[in-house]
Structure 1
């Protein structure tokens, strides 16, 4: 079954989601998801480089199928969230929050004092999620992201953990 298949209806009392560390063997499934959710997706090389750099990389599984993933880079006592993604059919079900909370726990275990991220200024739902968790806007990075017509600003957000 494709990783883009519709999620099955499952009672919330019996979640079938689990986390595990991302491996190179996950990249085919991730590359099936990535271009469907981003106008300028990461490349396979971006993911492979992150894994080679020993960044904290996790997948979220639903019945052994990858439905989300996140990557984080540690620099001293700062965690930088590089990518947090949920497959389109699984969006708007709280899985982004589940992934983000998992990454915050990982950052805490790694003794991070703060977590930082950039988010497209147009990604209102992601900004709302980050604010709801407690992230605050710290700055605007002008022209940070490629866009179909030029560049798009990024909102730099931070969370004390």
Structure 2
């Protein structure tokens, strides 16, 4: 894939663990967790890199004609460069080619940068999970459930 994107493989597990811990220090996933996910049917993802240095990844699960983003991470120092948008656009294109009709994701209500990204890509809020995200300090945060149609217009 062009633009520094390539499919995830089992060889990427330590990279995924590191990138996820940098992005979500309060709830990092282990290499083992990523390995179990990638072994499941319908789970795929993309890695973005520059000069062979991993900068972020997208992981999704597809079932029938729907899919959900399991996680999206970009190294904090590499944010605001369009990498997350590029990962999502490439992931949506791949899903669309497979006949996926709708893509869902969850985002913490207080993650304003991510919410702006999803809004710019035309995701719409379709639900809420109260108190879904735990924080080490302060109250639990609601998760917003977002959806985008991948059907041809």
Superposition TM-score, scaled by structure 2 size: 0.89
Contact 2:65–2:99 under 8 Å retained in 1: yes
| Aligned residue runs from structure 1 range 1-161, under 5 A | 17-38=3-24, 39-54=26-41, 55-149=43-137, 151-161=140-150
Contact 2:17–2:34 under 8 Å retained in 1: no
Partners of 1:85 and 1:99 lie apart in 2 by 10
Contact 1:17–1:63 under 8 Å retained in 2: no
Contact 2:6–2:46 under 8 Å retained in 1: yes
Gaps of 5+ in 2: none
Deviation (angstroms), 1:33: 2.0
Deviation (angstroms), 1:30: 2.2
Deviation (angstroms), 1:127: 0.6
Gaps of 5+ in 1: 1-15
Contact 2:57–2:87 under 8 Å retained in 1: yes
Partners of 1:151 and 1:110 lie apart in 2 by 36
Partners of 1:157 and 1:29 lie apart in 2 by 27
The count of corresponding residues between Structure 1 and Structure 2 is 146
Partners of 1:59 and 1:151 lie apart in 2 by 30
Contact 2:102–2:147 under 8 Å retained in 1: yes
